[in-house]
Structures are given as C-alpha cells and as structure tokens.
Amino acid sequence: MNTSTVPKCQCGKTKDPNGNCDGSHANKYKSLKNVALSIAVIFIGLTFQNFTSFKKNVVDVKTSSIQWKAEKVVGSHEGEISLKSGELIYDDGNLVGGSFTIDMNSLICTDLSGEYKGKLEGHLKSEDFFNVETFSTASLVIKNVQKNNSNKHTITADLTIKGITKSIVFESVVEKNKLTAKIQIDRTQFNVKYGSGSFFDGLGDNMIYDEFDLTINLMI
C-alpha cells in the first residue's frame, strides 16, 4: 500500500509536532504581504490627497504692481518695477506658498522727468547699485505662512537680489484674488552699498539710507 509522506519543514517554522511542513510560514508571509500592501495603498491615497489639495494661482503681471521708495538725507525718490512672473499657492483656500520674479531692467523713477529721470534710472541700474546687466532679475520665494486672522498673515520668504539670498519676514494682507504687502529691505545685505553711511564716512547730504521700501500688490 502506497503511503504519502509530508515533506519535512526546511525553514523550521512549522507548528506540526512531527516537524512536517504545514505551510504556516507561507500563511504568515501572505498575511504580512497583505498588511504591507494595505499600508502602501493608504499612504499613496493620503499622499495623492495632499498633493491634489494644493491650488496654484498664476499672478497676473499686467494688473499687479510693485512700487519702490528710497530716502536720503535731503529727500527721497520713488518709482515702479515690473513683475516678470509669479504664482501663489493655496491649500483649502489658505495661502501656503508662492514666488515671484522681478524684471530689474523695468526699474523706473516716477518723481523725476527728463534728463534727471534718465540719469537716476541709469545709476540705479549700474554696478553702483543693482547691476542689472549681470543680475537682470530678483526673486522672492515664500517659505512659511502664519495666518494671524482672516486675512492678515506673517510671511517668511527668501529674497534674492544681485545673486544674494536672505531670509526676510513681513506682514501681508491676503484677500480672495489679491495679496498686498509693504516690505522694508536693507540694501547693504545684498551688496548695494553706494552712498551708505554704514560703510562710508563724510557723505554729508549725499548719504542714502540703507533701507528702502517695496509696496507689493499681487493680483491673481
């Protein structure tokens, strides 16, 4: 009479008292595989949900604006500069990030005219100030947003001017289709030192203050 034999377990994980293979290790591996697959499916689902909740809004460079103002001992000058591109990122209606790029060649002065206007604009674009021939753009990248109330936010961002990047913090108002902010910038941190009393003595009335202001209006 033929008798069938059950193969001895090679892995040593059988629960059979005689040491025969009962397939328990296979069942265990199958169970672990199913658990791992379930975890992977949940992770992928959550990741997909997080990514799809973000909404990128392109900034309308034509209706957006940036005004600048710089002061010196005997007066001040102001003007405008244009955006090259930008976007604001929202998560469930809340601002969470974004960036914009400034066209440095677009810098103009609005409180002068004629010869003096041209001279000041040329000087600001020269190596004494922003050296736009080498550094044609400046940029700001939002790194963190703290919502203070329904529309007021504290923003931490990386500002890059003349290839130098510094972290800045400023307050902003975020409305449905608009972000506004006034940022004060220390130009000397970006190697713009011309006429600075912090680096040169004896400037007298020719001294230009280190800080200048940007008033930003981003429309989406």
pLDDT higher than threshold 80 for residue 30:
no
| CA 126/CA 104 separation, integer angstroms | 11
The pLDDT of residue 135 is: 98
The DSSP secondary-structure symbol of 111 reads S
pLDDT tens-digit series, residues 92-130: 889 999 999 999 999 999 999 999 999 999 999 999 999
The pLDDT of residue 150 is: 83
The pLDDT of residue 123 is: 98
pTM exceeding 0.85: no
Q: How many residues does the chain have?
A: 220
Q: What is the DSSP string of 157-208?
A: EEEEETTEEEEEEEEEEEETTEEEEEEEEEGGGGT--TTBTTT-S--GGG-E
Taking residues 197-220, what's their average pLDDT? 96
Q: Which residues pair with 98 in a beta bridge?
A: 88, 142
pLDDT tens-digit series, residues 134-188: 999 999 999 999 999 889 999 999 999 999 999 999 999 998 889 999 999 999 9
| CA 69/CA 76 separation, integer angstroms | 7
